[in-house]
Chain A
Amino acid sequence: MREHSLRRGSVLIGVAVLLLSGVVAVVLVLAPAPERDRVQDLAEGLRCPVCTSVSVAESPSDTAVAMRQVISDQVAAGRSDEEVVNYFRARYGDWTVIDPPASGSTLLLWALPIAAAVAGSVALLARSLPRAVSPSAELSDEERDRVEAAVERHRAMPGRREVDP
């Protein structure tokens, strides 16, 4: 009886979860795409030349403020993202782009993580998939007796312990 109600509970929960996720997915898909703030996006991809490690979008420095203004002006003048980025690249060099392209000398930067992820997953699967059972895995009766005897001895040992992680 309990088994039965457990299973019915599982079915109910499963259906409810599926329905709810469906609703969530539909709402999210139908939601209008948020308006892109191109100036902000572009500023986030450019390095503030007088700071360390922060983008033009994040830096409170005067230079960054001026650069944001330039970006804003250029966007207002109808320039494409690429044109704006190239404008800054021409002035400060490739160094100013903190979102390096997946090509040329920064191709490896993008390729290596993917390669590492693939290699790691393969290694993990190779490790954790059960190996084909070899015939020698079956113990003979004699071996089985020895194992049991050893287990008994171990059980009888005082001070046996497990350690918490």
Chain B
Amino acid sequence: MMTAAPAAGWTGLMLGLAGSVVLAVFGFLAQFRPAAVRRQQLVVGAGFMLGGSALAMGALQVALLTDNFAVAYVAENHARATSTLFSITTAWAALEGSLVLWVLVLSGFTAVVMRGVRDTGDRLGAGALGVLGAVGAFFFGLVVLAGNPFEILAEAPADGPGPNPILADHVLMAVHPPLLYLGYVGLTVPFAFAMSALLGRVPGVEWLHRTRRSNLVAWSFLTAGLVVGAWWSYEVLGWGGYWAWDPVENAALVPWLVATAFLHSAVVQVRRGMLQSWNFVLVLAAFALTILGTFLTRSAVVQSVHSFSQSDVGPPLLAFFVVVVVAGFVLIALRADHIASHGRPESPASREGMFLLNNLLLSLFAFIVLLGTLYPVVLEAITDEQVSVGRPFFDRMAVPIGFGLLLAMWAGPVTPYRHASVAVVWGRTRVPLLLAALAAVAVLLAGVRSVGIVAVVALATGIAATTVRQVLVTAPARTPAGVWRLVRGRRGYWGGQLAHLGVALFAVVVAVSSGLADRSTVRLDRGESVAFAGYTLTFDYVDEHELPDRLVTDAHITVRAGDEVVRTMAPRLNSFPGRPQAVGNPDVWSTPAQDVYVALGNLEPEQITLNLFRYPLMVWMWVAGGMVAAGGFWALSGPRRGARNPQPGTARTAEQVSGDA
């Protein structure tokens, strides 16, 4: 019976591979000769992809949960003592399993696209299915040939080493990778529709209408995945930070930035018919960058905290990246005459102009992050010289761009389309401007003398006040019900505004938590106390707990304000049998005003070294990230509009469109 699960998994992968090849062939065929293909044939292809990948994932789960150590992946990444939750998450804790998750998510998105293709006369949809099938064929092939988790070991070991300790430590590990994959892989769908439009010479904005939802889905999940990842890094890794400009973090950030740019420039094309070729470039870039990111992190060319496993998937991924980029740009170049838009903004001072500025800043940001990530790799390949590019470089670049984006976020959403007069924009921003100035004074009165913090708080106040003003001015009635009707009505705009508010809050937290942080490293003997952040911390004792899969060593610390005990904290060290590396967990005491963060540096029964941090407002960072993702989901939640069956009654007049704000 030991071979039933891997055999089923292997069968699933082969079925998926076959299904994706079928889908690719019939999809492309249908685009050029719709009559030659029946819809049923496409459904079979997509169905086999989904069924096959679901079978593979199911088999992997069964193998993990039944301790089937005859399966190579289980033997390498699982232990009998691993808890059920982390047994499940082990399915994506190493390379091969995460590729299975990848094909499962891709097949899921393909099935959703399939549902939207009503018949083979839908050339755009059929072509997109063809592209999805081709991408699916590559990834199924990759799992089968280079990253197969279902290899059967001749001699099954009695037990395994368990998952990488860092990955079996916190419940967030159950959500972070799937969220990120939903975002990462979701970017394939806009790419598929864009390529299909180019291949089939389908002009206009239909491909944008049809990818709007999937693009928003991908973007929202990617946002959530990034935020959860940052949170996890902060709560688990114990280094006191949330973002290290690590290559893998960058590899997820760059597609996010490009997808954000696309989210905005798509509006310009839909509304004003501009930027068509640019949109194709952005969609192509976002998808290609996900492949490049996967290559970077899975092929050991960069050192990263995320390089949990390496294998021989590197070369195929790099080859696929090159093929995608070359084919994509050739296609854009060949069909540019069909798609190039000749429209241009009537005036730089207009919503279009602001969108262009947004695109410039986001693309520049993406370019710089990519440059900083690739520079050491490329330089070493060419000259053998080893250099590092780290936080100082990225921070210095990100700060001015961040300020530019905040400014654009403030003025952009209240700038009218076509031509904005100074009077209109001033009228909409003058009161918020006053509030922003007052906020800056308030920050000074609070004793802060950092230019950065004052500026960020002022800008964020301006953005928030402008949004609130827009709500009050444009709501049908200034009652909760009226406001509700407003934000339910135009979800695209108000979802975007919610995301903007989230970004503004996020910027404030970044500035305040880094600018006003306290940190300290102290060595304490048992019973000794230290003063930190207005509290007295006393090291009481160390004790050990034996858990099935690990040995936990806690250091108990009492936190007093004056003489009153306000908190006991217990940063800990987890050691896993068979793993040399012990994993520390900090203890974080979060309150709305500040986080007190205690991490173990060194631990002996009678003496400990503690890394202490105090971060003001830190907890709001996760709230802000949640707001950004929620903005995306809010924009998605609107009533679905069948792209191919325009419904009467949804028309809005040109005046409303150009005059709205």
A interface, CB within 8 angstroms of B:
6, 9-10, 13-14, 16-17, 20-21, 23-24, 27-28, 31-32, 34, 44-45, 47, 52-55, 58-60, 62, 65, 68, 93-100, 105-106, 108-109, 112-113, 116-117, 120-121, 124-125, 127-131, 158-165
Contacts and interface: CB of A to CB of B under 8 A. Distances in A.
Contacts of A55: 390-391
B387 A95 contact: yes
B449 A31 contact: yes
Contacts of B650: 161-162
A165 B270 contact: yes
B454 A59 contact: no
B368 A113 contact: yes
B609 to A, nearest CB: 8
27 contacts: A23-B441, A24-B444, A27-B444, A34-B449, A44-B392, A52-B304, A53-B247, A54-B241, A54-B244, A54-B390, A60-B601, A60-B611, A65-B521, A97-B387, A106-B375, A106-B379, A112-B371, A113-B364, A116-B368, A128-B347, A128-B353, A161-B646, A162-B271, A163-B209, A164-B492, A165-B266, A165-B492
B408 to A, nearest CB: 12
B391 A44 contact: yes
Contacts of B389: 98, 100, 106, 109
A45 B387 CA distance: 13
Interface in B396-411: 397
B356 interface: yes
B641 interface: yes
A20 B431 CA distance: 14
B437 A164 contact: no
B239 interface: yes
B371 A113 contact: yes
Contacts of A9: 430
Contacts of A23: 441
Given A23-B441, A98-B393, A127-B356, A47 B364 contact: no
Interface of B: 209, 212, 238-241, 244-247, 266-267, 270-271, 303-305, 307, 344-348, 352-353, 356-357, 360, 363-364, 367-368, 371-372, 375, 379, 383, 385-393, 397, 426-427, 430-431, 433-434, 437-438, 440-441, 444, 449-451, 454, 490-493, 496, 521, 584, 599-602, 609, 611, 638, 641, 646-648, 650-652, 657
A162 B344 contact: no
Nearest to A17: B437
Nearest to B441: A20
A127 to B, nearest CB: 6
Given A28-B454, A58-B239, A100 B353 contact: no
Contacts of B364: 113, 116-117, 120
B390 A20 contact: no
Given A16-B434, A17-B434, 14 more contacts: A17-B437, A31-B449, A34-B449, A52-B246, A53-B244, A53-B390, A54-B244, A60-B240, A95-B387, A106-B375, A120-B364, A131-B344, A161-B651, A164-B491
A47 B390 CA distance: 8
B530 to A, nearest CB: 17
Contact of A113 (B397, B430, B450): B397
A58 B363 contact: no
A128 B345 contact: yes
A20 B440 contact: yes
Which of B239, B426, B648 is most buried by chain A, counting CB atoms within 10 A of its CB?
B239
Contacts of B347: 128, 130
B357 A124 contact: yes
Contacts of B303: 52-53
A80 B657 CA distance: 61
B362 to A, nearest CB: 11
Nearest to B348: A128
A109 B375 contact: yes
B553 to A, nearest CB: 16
A161 B266 contact: no
B379 A105 contact: yes
Contacts of B646: 159-161
> Which 3 pairs show the lowest CB-CB distances between chains A and B?
A98-B390, A165-B267, A99-B392
Contacts of B454: 24, 28
A60 B238 contact: yes
A53 B270 contact: no
Nearest to B349: A128
Contacts of B652: 161-162
A161 B266 CA distance: 17
Contact of B344 (A13, A44, A95, A127): A127
Contacts of A20: 434, 437-438, 440-441
A158 B647 CA distance: 9
A94 B385 contact: yes
Nearest to B357: A124
Which of A17, A53, A98, A117 is most buried by chain B, counting CB atoms within 10 A of its CB?
A53
Nearest to A22: B437
A20 B440 CA distance: 8
A15 B406 CA distance: 24
Contact of B367 (A44, A62, A116): A116
Given A47-B388, A52-B246, A128-B352, A13 B444 contact: no
B216 to A, nearest CB: 10
Which of A62, A109, A131, A158 is most buried by chain B, counting CB atoms within 10 A of its CB?
A109
A129 B496 CA distance: 27
Given A124-B356, A128-B344, A105 B387 contact: yes
Which of A93, A97, A128 is most buried by chain B, counting CB atoms within 10 A of its CB?
A128
Nearest to A98: B390
A52 B345 contact: no
B20 to A, nearest CB: 31
B641 A163 contact: yes
B580 to A, nearest CB: 13
Contact of A98 (B346, B392, B450, B602): B392
Contact of A121 (B360, B385, B427, B641): B360
A109 B377 CA distance: 12
A28 B240 CA distance: 29
Which of A23, A27, A100 is most buried by chain B, counting CB atoms within 10 A of its CB?
A100
B386 A14 contact: no
B496 A165 contact: yes
Given A58-B241, A100-B387, A112-B371, A159 B648 contact: yes
Contacts of A108: 375
A165 to B, nearest CB: 4
Nearest to B451: A28
Contact of A14 (B244, B344, B391, B430): B430
B449 A93 contact: no
Contacts of B451: 28
A103 to B, nearest CB: 12
Nearest to B445: A27
Contacts of B247: 53
B210 to A, nearest CB: 11
Which of A28, A45, A62 is most buried by chain B, counting CB atoms within 10 A of its CB?
A28
A93 B387 CA distance: 8
Contacts of B367: 113, 116
Contacts of B240: 58, 60
Which of A65, A106, A112 is most buried by chain B, counting CB atoms within 10 A of its CB?
A106
A13 B304 contact: no
A14 B430 CA distance: 8
Nearest to B521: A65
Contacts of A54: 239, 241, 244, 390
